Structure 1
Amino acid sequence: MSHRPERMAEAIKKEIADLLRNEIKDPRVGFVTITGVEVTKDLSYAKIFISVMGSEEQRKESVDILQNASGYMRSEVGRRIKVRHAPELIFKLDNSLDHGSRIMELLHGINRQEEKPNNE
């Protein structure tokens, strides 16, 4: 089995991060973290999972803005990693960090309850 999709995913992640840091200047795009990239076996699509700080509305707006800029980013990624056909970029909101934070809050709450002495 080929490792090309994995190599392509890493290259895309690096280049998208650089584009977000240096070229995408829209103030409506919040603090964005790329949490992962999945490239299809035929290298035609790349799902880019992002985490965005802010309210749910701000998160959705950031994803929409990035999706609207995906054509530009696709051409830049293709030029930078020197591929003839860059994959179509699809931005997806990754809520796993929120879920992880919620689980940690619940676990800390359980620990605090166990540490309280029973007043019976």
Structure 2
Amino acid sequence: MKHKRSDKVAETIHTTISTILSRGLNDPRIGFVTITGVEVTDDLHLARIFFTVIGDEAAKKSSEAGLNSAARFIRHELGKVLKMRYTPDILFKYDHSQEYGQRIDDLLREVGTGNDGNDSEDR
């Protein structure tokens, strides 16, 4: 399988940002954040970093605001590790995929329990 350079850069960005967050940022708005994915454009000029956070909707919004305000610092730290001519701009976005997956799982359970084992009558 062929790997694009953007995929390799995305992996490096993922591990580097995870390390930066584990050391902690001095922003009280940022809660317990987990990086779930990184997408880098093919021209390597933009990196979208997807994250989840434990907490309610207010915690999600404040963590996203805190991460985006720390983006310049994080980009500077990335530049030290990536050693590229141009360090990608970074944009933090909340990852809704886990909530979406949970919703689908709940719906499937609801359909499964609503069946009551009466499959023979439906035939």
Aligned partners of 1:15, 1:2: CA distance in 2, in Å? Answer: 20
Aligned partners of 2:117, 2:4: CA distance in 1, in Å? Answer: 52
Residue aligned with 1:115, SS: coil
Aligned partners of 2:102, 2:111: CA distance in 1, in Å? Answer: 14
User: TM-score, normalized by length of structure 1?
Assistant: 0.88
**Mind listing any 5+ residue stretches in structure 2 that lack a counterpart?**
119-123
**Mind listing any 5+ residue stretches in structure 1 that lack a counterpart?**
none
Aligned partners of 2:88, 2:9: CA distance in 1, in Å? Answer: 9
Alignment of 1:44-55 (within 5 A): 44-55=45-56
How far did residue 79 of structure 1 move?
0.2
Q: Which residue of 2 aligns with 1:67?
A: 68
Q: Which residue of 2 aligns with 1:23?
A: 24
Aligned partners of 1:34, 1:78: CA distance in 2, in Å? Answer: 19
The verdict on how the C-alpha distance between 1:27 and 1:116 changes in structure 2, with shifts beyond 3 A counting, is: farther
Please give the root-mean-square deviation of Cα atoms over the aligned residues, in Å: 1.8
How far did residue 51 of structure 1 move?
1.4
Offset from partner CA, 1:19-70 (integer Å, 9 cap, x none): 0111324343122121211111111110111112211121011011000000
Q: Which residue of 2 aligns with 1:33?
A: 34
Aligned partners of 2:56, 2:47: CA distance in 1, in Å? Answer: 26
Q: Structure 1 residue 90 and structure 2 residue 100: aligned?
A: no
Aligned partners of 2:27, 2:70: CA distance in 1, in Å? Answer: 10
Structure 1 stretch displaced more, 77-86 or 95-104: 77-86
How far did residue 90 of structure 1 move?
0.5
Aligned partners of 2:86, 2:72: CA distance in 1, in Å? Answer: 12
Structure 1: 4+ residue segments shifted above 3 A: none
Aligned length: 117
